[in-house]
Structure 1
Amino acid sequence: MSKYSALRRHLEAASGASVEMAFREIDDVVGGLPASARRYSAWWSNEHEGRHVQARAWLDAGWRVANVNLTAERVRFNRA
């Protein structure tokens, strides 16, 4: 089980067409984001295949990253 399973469950429980979260909120949900999540927008890509296990969490929950703002440390997920 991936540490990002908690994010998947969190998003599965969310309502509405869009959810915006601060990185610190996601930190709390998953037990800490890696430094690369704060440095590289590619970390937030909607890549189901490959090494991005974090992306599988939101994609499997039925969400996609619509926008990530590294400066403000915020991400918006839209329902897929």
Structure 2
Amino acid sequence: MSKYFRLEDYLKNQIEVQMSYSEIEKVLGDKLPESSYNDRTWWANTLHPSRTQAHSWLNAGWKIKSVDLGNSVIFVRNEAE
């Protein structure tokens, strides 16, 4: 099981979400990796096998709308779902 399962589970019960990094870390029960703070591609909406974090929000029917690196993320429902 991916460490991001808790994020997937949390997002399944939401309608629209803007979360701070600290809120995401609280849901995860763990710190986000350093790359999430300084690499926008970490937040890409991709199902690439090495990007398990993206699987969590995509599997829950969400995608990333925007990222304020190191501060917050806006998740929106994926209309394709």
TM-score normalised by structure 2 residue count: 0.90
Deviation of 1:13 (Å): 1.2
For structure 1, which segment, 23-32 or 52-61, has the greater mean C-alpha deviation from structure 2 after superposition? 23-32
Deviation of 1:7 (Å): 0.2
Deviation of 1:21 (Å): 0.2
Q: What is the aligned partner in structure 1 of residue 5 from structure 2?
A: 5
- Provide the identity percentage: 38
Residue-by-residue CA offset, 1:22-62 (whole Å, 9 max, x unaligned): 00001111111011100111000001123110000000000
Separation in 2, partners of 1:50, 1:4: 14
Q: Does 1:48 align with 2:51?
A: no
State the one-letter code of the partner of 1:45: A
Separation in 2, partners of 1:33, 1:2: 13
Aligned-residue RMSD, C-alpha: 1.0
Structure 2 unaligned runs (5+)?
none
Q: Give the 3-state SS of the residue equivalent to 2:47 in structure 1.
A: coil
Separation in 2, partners of 1:12, 1:37: 22
Q: What is the aligned partner in structure 2 of residue 77 from structure 1?
A: 75
Q: Give the 3-state SS of the residue equivalent to 1:2 in structure 2.
A: coil
TM-score normalised by structure 1 residue count: 0.91
State the one-letter code of the partner of 1:68: V
How many pairs are equivalent? 77
Q: Give the 3-state SS of the residue equivalent to 1:57 in structure 2.
A: helix
State the one-letter code of the partner of 1:25: E
